[in-house]
């Protein structure tokens, strides 16, 4: 079975957490950081189980860059 490394961006929102995989544009949530990550992993695995090869290629083929941005606050 082939494996691929993807990014999980997890942030606190209100009382819960939101998790995003930017490479696939898939998001999930949970009441804890661990749960949000686990739910995201399930969603991503579900995507790979059901998506066509063309859809997977399209989503993984897009260039994305995750960088820090520093701005001045007024």
Percent of the chain scoring above 90 in pLDDT: 80
Q: Rounded to an integer, what distance in angstroms lies between the CA atom of residue 48 and that of residue 45?
A: 5
**Are 29 and 17 spatial neighbours (Cβ–Cβ below 8 Å)?**
yes
**Are 28 and 43 spatial neighbours (Cβ–Cβ below 8 Å)?**
yes
pLDDT for residue 2: 83
How is residue 28 written in tokens? 């999930």
**Are 60 and 23 spatial neighbours (Cβ–Cβ below 8 Å)?**
yes
Q: Helices (H) and strands (E) in the chain — how many of each? A: 2, 3
For residue range 36-70, what is the model confidence (pLDDT) as tens digits? 999 999 999 999 999 999 999 999 988 888 899 99
pLDDT for residue 23: 92
């Amino acid at each position: 079975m082939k494996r691929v490394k993807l990014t999980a961006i997890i942030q606190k929102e209100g009382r819960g957490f939101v998790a995003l995989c930017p490479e696939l544009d898939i998001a999930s949530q949970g009441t804890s950081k661990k749960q949000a990550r686990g739910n995201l992993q399930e969603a991503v695995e579900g995507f790979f189980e059901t998506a066509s090869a063309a859809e997977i290629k399209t989503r993984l083929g897009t260039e994305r860059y995750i960088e820090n941005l520093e701005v001045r606050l007024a």
